[in-house]
Structures are given as structure tokens and as C-alpha cells.
Amino acid sequence: MEKKLIIVTFGELSTKGKNIMNFIRLLGKNITRILSSFSSVEINVQRDHIYILFDEKDEKEIINKLSLVPGISSFFIARKCNNDIKEICNLANDIFSPFSNLTFKVKTTRINKSFPLNSDEINREVGSYILSKNKDAKVDVHNPQVLIQIMLRENETFIYSKKEKGLGGYPVGIAGKSLHLISGGIDSPVAAFLMLKRGVELEMIHFEAPPYTSSKVIDKIKTLIRKLNIYQEKINLHIVPFTKLEKLIYDVAGPSYCVTIMRRMMLRISSIIAKKNNCLILSTGESIGQVASQTLPSINVIDTVSSLPVIRPLACYDKIEIIELAQKLDTYNTSIIPYEDCCTIFKLKDPVTHPNLKVVESIEEKLHFQELIEECVNNTKTVLVEEEKEL
């Protein structure tokens, strides 16, 4: 079986100074995991590139998987020939021929120093050969339209040209951990993906209100998390029993302030659970102005109770953009399955869009919620959600 090589480059990672080796090692580990089902794959992690050697038959699947790995800015797919100048000329010409009327440049990296020609000589030899075979081609050493790269290694030569775009971002795990609030709607899984793409490892928290919410919601959330397991192999899901506190809030606060106060309780509880689990921040799927609880005055009143910073990766996204991303991530069809959410069980008329902090605080004083919060925290159940392995 013909072997091919993928050369992974890092983009943003190269700006990370002395941490770079940690980044590269972690990226190498993440790539190894995502490609672990391919027996042909050999991965070699170097200072400036990661090399992936594989059987040509697996090419399509491997490329699909690599395009999902945060931290890869771009990669090249190289073809192989022997360390023989005639073979090198032929293969380079083969790779160039679809672009036969464009300008080009040949760039050689010679790792095998015993090869009789040096890099410049190889460049010239291959360049002349390509010119002789493509009448409309021209060399442009400063700004070529096509760059033909030759890597002459100890025992074989790899040649490549087209740059494939990677996902970008950082390798998952490099940025510390966030506790992500997941609701089962469209937005929160998309927001989770954006956090993962930025290198943030996630734990998840969900507030349920049985018997008003169905236990099917938890299955739905697990299905959504499994879609994200491709980026992070194992994700802890903390399930908080919220019924008692929520009913109390509804009875005392009434319909217009109910959501504001419920959100504040969610942040209070999430902050405690985050700290217990070494999460440095909270994250949510909120988007400015989407609903009453996500106006700036609401966010202002809600955020003040969180003892940790709250990141909202979708703050400035339109719903259309969020849906498009959900479709790409394959979470959309699961998210739209209708189940009662703990926020929808009590019919809320006119939730307040400009909550008044003094009003909120006076309602909360009547709640004596501290004990109930402790009860929620103590009764939280944690399950590990991980990729379903093919048997």
C-alpha cells in the first residue's frame, strides 16, 4: 500500500514562546487519540511540525478527522518517491501539472546530507524540468502562485504543494478548565465547541427539575455532549436537582422576576461546583438580546452574583450563525427535539428585560435560599460522558 505523509503546521502556536513544546506535545497527543483507530498511522512530533505517515487508502477519513482538531492551523498532504532526482522531477511535475499556466517556485529541504545535489541544485533541476514540460509556466521566486515543496529525507522524498485549512485555535487542555452551563437547546453546545476550540477543557453542568422535566432531557444532553467528545474524549456532567429551589423562586418572585432570580441561583451554584472541580471560569450559550434574561441590563444584574468570570462565546452571534454552526457540529437535530426545560415548565408572562437590582435583592431576601443552594450542591450527581467506542 502506498504511504503518504501529512505535515501539520501550527499557526498561532508559534507565538507562544517557551511554552511551545507543551502545546506541540498536547496537540500530538490529541491527534494520536483522534487517529487511534487507524492501524497504519505513525505520528512523529517535532519542534516545528507534526508528521503523520499513513496508508493512502485511509486518506479521506484521516483528513476529515484532522480538520476537527483544535490547534491545527493548516496541513499539507505529501506524496512520496525515492531519493532519485528523476523520480523527484517526475513527481514534482505531476503535482504542478494541474496549475500548468501559473507561476511557481521550488523549495527544497534536504535532511539527507549525503544526497549528491544540494538544495539549490535540486530546486534548479526540478524547476527546469517543470518549465520544459509546461510551456506556459513561469518561475517567480518572490511571489509564486504555486509553491512546490520538496523534503528529501534519509530514505525517501516527500513532495507537496496545496495547503489544507485546519480548524485553528489551540489544543484542548492547554487553557485550563471551564464549567459550561448546558441546557439542551441549540446555543449551549455551540458555545461549548467554541470554548473547546480555544483550548479550554470543559466540565458541564445542567439544572433539572423533575418531575416537571423529563429524564429524557438528560439523555438528550448526553447525546449532545457525545457530539463534542470528538474534541474532548471525556466530559464530566454535573446534574443539579433544581426543583425545590425553582418552585420557591416562582412562588415568591412571581412570573416577571422569576427568570432573573433563577439565573442568579444557577450562577451561584455553578460557581461553587466549578471551584470544587478546579474550573477557573463559567461559560454559557447566551447571546446579547436573544431573550429577556440576555439583555445587557439583565446580564448586569445576573452576573454580579457569580464569584467566577462568566464567558459567553456567542454573545455577539446572530441566531442564524449559531444554527449554521450547530448544523456543522451535528448538534442541531438533537437540540431541536422538544422536551420541557426547567425554564419552560412555569409559564412565564412578560419576563423583565430591565431588572432592578434593588427589587431583585429584596425578593431574594425573602427566599432564605442559602440552605437550598447547599442542598442543590450536595445532591448534585456527576456522570462521565465519553465517546461510544465502536466494537
Task: Mark residues 335-374: x for contact with ligand ATP by CB under 6 A, - for none.
Answer: ------xxx-------------------------------
Contacted by 284, from Mg ion, ligand ATP, none: CB < 5 to 8 Å by type: ligand ATP
Count residues near Mg ion (CB under 5 A). 2
Burial 249-269 (b: 16+ CB within 10 A, else e): bbebbeebbbbbbbbbbbbbb
Q: How many CA atoms lie within 13 A of 376 on its CB side?
A: 28
Name residues whose C-beta falls within 8 Å of residue 123's C-beta, 6 or more positions apart in sequence. 106, 107, 108, 150
User: 187 or 341, CB closer to Mg ion?
Assistant: 187
φ, ψ at 179 (rounded to 5°):
-95, 115
C-alpha cell at 285: 450559550
Contacted by 58, from Mg ion, ligand ATP, none: CB < 5 to 8 Å by type: none
Contacted by 299, from ligand ATP, Mg ion, none: CB < 5 to 8 Å by type: none
User: 189 or 199, CB closer to Mg ion?
Assistant: 189
Q: Which residues pair with 237 in a beta bridge?
A: 204, 383
Q: By CB under 5 A, name the one of 58, 125, 187, 246 that touches Mg ion.
A: 187
φ, ψ at 353 (rounded to 5°):
-100, -20
Q: Which residue is nearest to Mg ion (CB)?
A: 187
Task: Mark residues 26-65: x for contact with ligand ATP by CB under 6 A, - for none.
Answer: ----------------------------------------
Shortest distance (Å) from residue 187 CB to Mg ion:
4
Q: Which residue is nearest to ligand ATP (CB)?
A: 185
Cα-based distances in Å from 106 to 129, 143, 147, 155, 386: 11, 12, 6, 20, 46
Which stretch, 64-72, 82-90, 285-293, 360-368, contacts ligand ATP (CB under 6 A)? 285-293
Within residues 178-207, the interface with ligand ATP by CB under 6 A covers: 181-183, 185-188, 205-207
Residue among 246, 278, 277 nearest 263 (CA): 246
User: 93 or 284, CB closer to Mg ion?
Assistant: 284
Q: How many CB atoms lie within 10 A of CB 234?
A: 11
Do residues 106 and 92 touch, judged by C-beta distance below 8 A?
yes
φ, ψ at 349 (rounded to 5°):
-90, 135
Q: How many CB atoms lie within 10 A of CB 131?
A: 14
User: 7 or 204, CB closer to Mg ion?
Assistant: 204
Alpha helices in the chain (DSSP H): 20-34, 59-66, 85-96, 119-133, 187-197, 216-228, 243-276, 296-303, 319-329, 332-335, 357-367, 370-378
φ, ψ at 47 (rounded to 5°):
-60, -40
Q: Which residue has cell 452571534?
A: 317
Shortest distance (Å) from residue 195 CB to Mg ion:
16
Torsion of CA 76, 82, 83, 86, to 10 degrees: -100
User: 66 or 325, CB closer to ligand ATP?
Assistant: 325
User: 30 or 293, CB closer to ligand ATP?
Assistant: 293
User: 157 or 284, CB closer to ligand ATP?
Assistant: 284
Which stretch, 63-71, 145-153, 157-165, 278-286, contacts ligand ATP (CB under 6 A)? 278-286
User: 183 or 380, CB closer to ligand ATP?
Assistant: 183
d(CA 314, CA 200): 15
Q: Which residues pair with 105 in a beta bridge?
A: 147
Within residues 274-313, the interface with Mg ion by CB under 5 A covers: 290
Shortest distance (Å) from residue 325 CB to Mg ion:
13
Q: What is the DSSP string of 119-185?
A: HHHHHHHHHHHHHHH-TT-EE-SSS-SEEEEEEE-SS-EEEE-PEEE---S--TTSS-EEEEE--SS
Count residues near ligand ATP (CB under 6 A). 18
Which stretch, 54-62, 101-109, 120-128, 281-289, contacts ligand ATP (CB under 6 A)? 281-289
Which stretch, 57-65, 133-141, 176-184, 360-368, contacts ligand ATP (CB under 6 A)? 176-184
Which stretch, 133-141, 155-163, 177-185, 348-356, contacts ligand ATP (CB under 6 A)? 177-185
Shortest distance (Å) from residue 305 CB to ligand ATP:
14
Contacts with ligand ATP by CB under 6 A lie at 181-183, 185-188, 205-207, 284-286, 290-291, 341-343
